[in-house]
Chain A
Amino acid sequence: MILIGERINGMFKDIREAIQNKDPEPVRYWAKRQYERCAAYLDINTGPTVEKEDQPAVMEWLVKTAQEVAPMACCLDSTNPDAIEAGLKVHQGKAMINSTTADQWKMDIYIPMAAKYNAAIIGLAMNEKGVPKSAADRIALAMEIVVNCDMNGIPMEDLYIDPLMLPCNVAQEHGVEVLETLRQIKTLADPAPHTTMGLSNSSQRCTNRHLINRTFLIMSMANGLDSAIADVDDDELLDAVATANILLNKEIYCDSFLKTFRAR
């Protein structure tokens, strides 16, 4: 399971204030903390309060600040291509672009960008019309992304398709469609593209959020999910993923399996 730590995001109060005050401490704290808790990537998002023209500079600052204390890759999360490119320019190692949709004009911006910077990329199985209702429509859009990546020379192991989970209190019927989409994504190409998911989406404005996130993550892993943007600060989530890794035969069992999962 490739975990992408969700915490460096301007939607969270401490990060929003850090950005406003140019205070690197909260960014450093969460970079280190998520590194120690087995995140493979740090999601970096300036958040909605930063003005569009300031986003590139803020992204650059966040990436530099995070990578100073955590020797790991970042997942550059923005709807502004200039902000993503600003992050790519200063990023050390192989970054991940978060994200393109299946709209041709967006794929024409982000996929060549991924090729230019040798970055991985997340492709959302949606377009300007919104999130499809059925698995079949999601898969059709996923295929568009696969084809565009292939045309740009992006290997399938660098593509992460997100079938888009919606909050279960408003769009309950999407859960089964997402699980079906995950299964089918793995048949789109050989080798298959990776799959990912913004996990906390599934429980927006619900009670028992950790339980919902954790349960859906494990169900999704059994259906082919191999990466997630998640709260790695949640110990029960990490324990559940470690256990699922064993049960799905992705990791060789040993008595210390909860501990070895956390070792870097």
Chain B
Amino acid sequence: MAVTIAKEKWTSKVGEMVLGADSSVNVGGESTLPFLQFEGAIPNKPVLALEVWDLEPEDWPEILKAPFAGVLADPVAWAKKNVEYGADVVSLRLMSAHPDFKNASPEECAATAKAVAEAVNVPLIIIGCGVEEKDAAVLEKVGEALAGKSCLIGCATEKNYKTITATAMVNGHSVIASTPLDINLSKQLNILMTEMNLPANRIAIDPLVGALGYGIEYAYSIMERSRIGALMGDKMLAMPVICFVGQEAWKAKEAKSTDEESPEWGAQERRSILWEVLTTTTFAQAGGSIFVLRHPESVKQVKVHLDKMMESNVY
């Protein structure tokens, strides 16, 4: 007697986002859980972004600074370097806007963003400095300056989503919706943004993940639950998920501590990159679609992994 293999039948799928104007990148669109091509479609490979800062990052470990020697103070040159290193997307962090650093004006930030956008031919993610009111003001100007470039801008929170959503709608961008590891708040923020008439496929969910060893399993469970909800028809959770892995992995003491400080942990270079790579591949299994990384070697290694995972397992 023939055996019928039980396959999950999902009724819905994740929305598909298009980033970039000239050479665009598609994100999301899955109609099954990660890489289970035998149950549905995974139309797009997860996207890897490398970070650029608009001011020289002081507290980055030497191992992380080394691949960018000579360009860390020049966002345009740094962005180009990222493209050379194989980033699908460049993620510009406007840290200079932070009141504790240069407190740069929205206009200054917009000029930097424009210069970076003109220098590279890959889509851009534009992130503010993390101060909610300031980010609203900065992204309003940046959104205008990059009108029509279909960037992904953020991070929008409960406090500043109105301004950021409005600027995204007027200027054709998508928005990152950030909520602190809480599926209910995430769904609610998506509802509030779509109620302003931003199409659902122009929202990326940022669940504010932690790195390996720092709550990764909690983030994994939340991403998995929200993805299952999306596939079962919950449209307010059916958005691609962005994971800021670089900032979390390189904050871990396992990545930061030098060979001299922790000889028993093995060589820092291998250890720190592994930390970033493993955090990324774990979240790829949980349904992440966009990964913002920091080290070019991590991009290289994750790419090999993703290429393998994207090979069809249809039967």
- Do B226 and A252 have beta carbons less than 8 Å apart? yes
Q: Which residues of B contact A79 (CB under 8 A)?
A: none
Q: How far is the CB of B187 from chain A (nearest CB, A)?
A: 4
A108 at the A/B interface (Cβ < 8 Å)? Answer: no
Q: Which residues of B contact A248 (CB under 8 A)?
A: none
In-complex Cβ contact of B229 among A252, A256, A263 (8 A): A252
- Do A255 and B183 have beta carbons less than 8 Å apart? no
Q: Which residues of B contact A251 (CB under 8 A)?
A: 234
Complex Cα spacing A260 to B192, Å: 11
B188 at the A/B interface (Cβ < 8 Å)? Answer: yes
Q: Mark B231-242, 1 if CB is under 8 A from A, else 0.
A: 000111100000
- Do A254 and B191 have beta carbons less than 8 Å apart? yes
Complex Cα spacing A251 to B229, Å: 8
Q: Which residues of B contact A254 (CB under 8 A)?
A: 184-185, 187-188, 191, 236
Name the prevailing secondary structure of the B interface residues.
helix
Contacts A260-B236, A263-B235; A252 near B191 (Cβ below 8 A): no
Q: How far is the CB of A241 from chain B (nearest CB, A)?
A: 15
A253 at the A/B interface (Cβ < 8 Å)? Answer: yes
B225 at the A/B interface (Cβ < 8 Å)? Answer: yes
- Do B187 and A252 have beta carbons less than 8 Å apart? yes
Q: How far is the CB of B227 from chain A (nearest CB, A)?
A: 11
Q: Which residues of B contact A256 (CB under 8 A)?
A: 188, 191
Q: Which residues of A contact B185 (CB under 8 A)?
A: 254
Q: Which residues of A contact B191 (CB under 8 A)?
A: 254, 256, 259-260
Give the A interface residue count (CB, 8 A).
10
- Do A252 and B188 have beta carbons less than 8 Å apart? no
B226: nearest chain-A partner, CB-CB: A252
Q: How far is the CB of A252 from chain B (nearest CB, A)?
A: 5
In-complex Cβ contact of B237 among A157, A252, A259, A263 (8 A): A252
- Do B235 and A252 have beta carbons less than 8 Å apart? no
Complex Cα spacing A252 to B235, Å: 11
Which residue among A252, A255, A259, A260 has the maximum number of chain B CB atoms within 10 Å of its CB? Answer: A252
Q: Which residues of A contact B187 (CB under 8 A)?
A: 252-254, 260
Q: How far is the CB of B201 from chain A (nearest CB, A)?
A: 16
- Do A253 and B184 have beta carbons less than 8 Å apart? yes
B235: nearest chain-A partner, CB-CB: A263
Q: Mark A211-233, 1 if CB is under 8 A from B, else 0.
A: 00000000000000000000000
Complex Cα spacing A181 to B183, Å: 35
Q: How far is the CB of B29 from chain A (nearest CB, A)?
A: 21
Name 23 A/B residue pairs within 8 A (Cβ), A-sorted: A157-B9, A251-B234, A252-B183, A252-B184, A252-B225, A252-B226, A252-B229, A252-B234, A252-B237, A253-B184, A253-B187, A254-B184, A254-B187, A254-B191, A254-B236, A255-B184, A255-B188, A256-B188, A256-B191, A259-B191, A260-B187, A260-B191, A260-B236
Which 5 pairs show the lowest CB-CB distances between chains A and B? A254-B187, A254-B188, A253-B184, A252-B229, A256-B191
With contacts A252-B225, A254-B187, A263-B235 known, what are 5 further pairs, Cβ within 8 A? A252-B184, A252-B226, A254-B184, A259-B191, A260-B191
B residues neighboring A (CB under 8 Å): 9, 183-185, 187-188, 191, 225-226, 229, 234-237
